[in-house]
């Protein structure tokens, strides 16, 4: 039987190989990875999978949110939802081992998912310097509103500045 460090490295290698060159990994591709995995996993392995799943939720959610509201990327939405379900299942397993980290795990997940939308938004503004300045200014106002407790308005303002006109993300407002 493999020792824990070898198993952790093996899993990390498999996850990396699965995502090389991919803009997003489908749940179907991911499930193929686990046919030969042990039933019981270490905390480190579960953490790797949870982080990978959060990353995939973010990738697919950003693809959906930046797609046209007139022709939404249904495949990206479906993948995002499937990854979110997998993330929840893996997190439940993790929290049975370490229940005190639930709040931190949820916060980390939200930040990872948001990071992908921010990166996509910045990439979208590469050739639009005025839009980039607008996003920067509005996001600072949104952060200020969040700090004084006006989080609902803050989230809507941030989404307004991040997502382009006519996108699914802008339409969620």
Q: What pLDDT, in 10s, does the model give residues 41-55?
A: 888 889 999 999 999
- Structure confidence at residue 8 (pLDDT): 53
CB 44 within 8 A of CB 4: yes
pLDDT, tens digit, 9 for 90 and up, residues 77-121: 999 999 999 999 999 999 999 999 999 999 999 999 989 998 888
- Is residue 112 one of the residues assigned to a domain? no
- Structure confidence at residue 148 (pLDDT): 93
Distance CA 15, CA 12 (A): 5
What average pLDDT does the segment 60-85 reach? 96
- Is residue 111 one of the residues assigned to a domain? no
Which pTM value belongs to this model? 0.83
CB 135 within 8 A of CB 125: yes
- Is residue 62 one of the residues assigned to a domain? yes
**Domain of 23?**
4-100
What average pLDDT does the segment 65-83 reach? 96
CB 55 within 8 A of CB 80: no
- Under the banding of pLDDT at 50, 70 and 90, the label for residue 1 is very low
- Structure confidence at residue 7 (pLDDT): 52
- Is residue 57 one of the residues assigned to a domain? yes
- Is residue 95 one of the residues assigned to a domain? yes
- Is residue 125 one of the residues assigned to a domain? no
Residue 22 predicted with pLDDT over 80: no
- Is residue 152 one of the residues assigned to a domain? no
Altogether, the residues listed in the chain come to a count of 173
Q: How many domains in the chain? A: 1
Distance CA 59, CA 52 (A): 11
Provide the mean pLDDT of the chain: 85
Rg of the chain on CA atoms, in Å = 18
- Is residue 118 one of the residues assigned to a domain? no
What average pLDDT does the segment 141-149 reach? 88
CB 164 within 8 A of CB 66: yes
Residue 143 predicted with pLDDT over 90: no
The end-to-end CA distance of the chain, in Å, is: 52
Element (H, E) at 92: helix 74-97
């Amino acid at each position: 039987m493999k020792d824990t460090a070898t198993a952790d490295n093996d899993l990390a290698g498999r996850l990396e190989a699965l995502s090389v060159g991919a803009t997003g990994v489908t749940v179907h591709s991911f499930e193929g990875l686990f046919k030969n995995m042990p039933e019981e996993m270490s905390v480190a392995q579960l953490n790797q999978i949870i982080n990978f799943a959060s990353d995939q939720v973010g990738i697919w959610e950003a693809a959906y949110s930046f797609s046209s509201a007139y022709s939404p990327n249904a495949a990206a939405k479906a993948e995002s939802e499937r990854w979110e379900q997998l993330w929840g299942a893996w997190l439940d397993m993790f929290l049975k081992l370490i229940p005190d980290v639930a709040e931190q795990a949820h916060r980390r997940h939200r930040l990872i998912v948001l990071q992908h939308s921010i990166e996509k938004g910045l990439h979208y503004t590469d050739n639009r310097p005025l839009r980039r300045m607008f996003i920067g200014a509005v996001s600072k106002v949104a952060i200020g509103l969040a700090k004084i407790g006006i989080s609902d308005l803050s989230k809507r303002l941030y989404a307004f500045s991040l997502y382009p006109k006519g996108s699914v993300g802008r339409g969620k407002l």
